[in-house]
């Protein structure tokens, strides 16, 4: 969130894809972004059509521990 804030990236109303559903990163980010009025899709390593979802997103956050999940 500090990176998004530092670069003054407007989150409100943006389509955000979070790849990673961990209780340490993915889920807390989901709630923080939701409180900032983003439209969020929470994905994981078993999400079908992840490449389509990430291409449609305004912001993509990779928080998953699997190399090359997002290409």
Contacts of 24 (CB under 8 A, 6+ apart): none
pLDDT tens-digit readout, 35-71? 999 999 999 888 999 999 999 999 999 988 888 888 7
pLDDT at 15: 98
pTM for this one? 0.88
The structural architecture, per CATH, of the domain 2-62 is: 3-Layer(aba) Sandwich (3.40)
**Confidence band for 5, pLDDT divided at 50, 70 and 90:** very high
Q: Is the pLDDT of residue 29 over 90?
A: yes
Summarize the confidence of residues 9-19 as an average pLDDT: 96
Dump the DSSP string for 4-66: HHHTT---TT-EEEEE---TTTHHHHHHHHHHTT-EEEEE-TT-TTHHHHHHH-SEEEE--SS
């Amino acid at each position: 969130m500090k990176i998004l804030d530092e670069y003054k990236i407007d989150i409100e109303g943006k389509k955000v894809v979070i790849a990673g559903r961990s209780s340490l990163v993915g889920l807390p980010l989901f709630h923080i972004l939701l409180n900032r009025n983003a439209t969020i899709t929470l994905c994981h390593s078993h999400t079908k059509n992840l490449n389509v979802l990430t291409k449609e997103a305004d912001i993509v956050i990779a928080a998953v521990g699997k190399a090359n999940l997002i290409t």
